[in-house]
Amino acid sequence: GAGVSQSPSNKVTEKGKDVELRCDPISGHTALYWYRQSLGQGLEFLIYFQGNSAPDKSGLPSDRFSAERTGGSVSTLTIQRTQQEDSAVYLCASSLDVRGAEQPQHFGDGTRLSIL
Amino acid sequence: SQQGEEDPQALSIQEGENATMNCSYKTSINNLQWYRQNSGRGLVHLILIRSNEREKHSGRLRVTLDTSKKSSSLLITASRAADTASYFCATDRGSNYQLIWGAGTKLIIKP
């Protein structure tokens, strides 16, 4: 079956531009996560969506970051006025239900974002 | 904040040898997970071990958990070149949905 799909796989943009990153989770998975991974580092939690509940945005590093999830499926992470420190791999994961820490999370291959 | 810390940061062994990676954490957990990440790819789930379990096996993988020492180990037996990857542990820190990740161990298997 289809896994988690992310697009684009690579994005190079100039400082100050806005970018949109897309995640298509596994069909039927109600929980969706966005993480950021800097070179050689672990994953930094950004935001969590669960069904129709209010998302947990506690990991977003600044108000330039926002995310939405339409119809409980596809999610978009938007970074406005990009800065060089935003350069990283942005990973999306989904899990079957709300207990995402008690079951496997399924990851996409990420979007590698480079800010010039 | 980082909950899990893996060691070593990097490990290079010959094909066929066993590889052991360790993970330590700071606060009580309900479960701990191990993931593998090949270069340029997303993470792949390997094993989940619950706080009331001491050991789990999956093929050539063996995970142990010592809650008194707040540590876990991942053993890969009879390593293969395809095992070359970074390995991460993740803990729940009492949350039912949020995982806290270590910085990973980079494993290189030399043919």
Chain A residues with CB inside 8 Å of B4's CB? 42
Indicate the pLDDT class of residue B1, thresholds 50, 70 and 90: very low
Chain A residues with CB inside 8 Å of B28's CB? none
Tens of pLDDT, residues B33-43 = 999 999 999 99
With CB atoms and an 8 Å threshold, state whether B98 touches A48. yes
CATH architecture observed for domain B5-110 = Sandwich (2.60)
Residue B95 has pLDDT above 80, yes or no: no
- Structural domain span for residue A63: 5-115
Chain B residues with CB inside 8 Å of A106's CB? 45
Domain boundaries, chain B: 5-110
Contact predicate A99/A112, CB 8 Å: no
Tell me what pLDDT residue A23 has: 97
Tokens, residue A82? 């990009």
Indicate the pLDDT class of residue A99, thresholds 50, 70 and 90: confident
B47 close to A (CB below 8 A): no
- The mean pLDDT of B59-88, rounded to a whole number, is 97
How many folded domains does chain A comprise?
1
| Chain A CA closest to residue B1 | A44
Smallest CA-to-CA distance from B32 within B9, B11, B55, B7 is with B55
Q: State phi, psi for A68 to the nearest 5 degrees.
A: -140, 160
CATH value at residue A88: 2.60.40.10
In the predicted model, what is the mean pLDDT of chain A? 93
Pick A98's closest partner by Cβ from B92, B96, B101.
B96
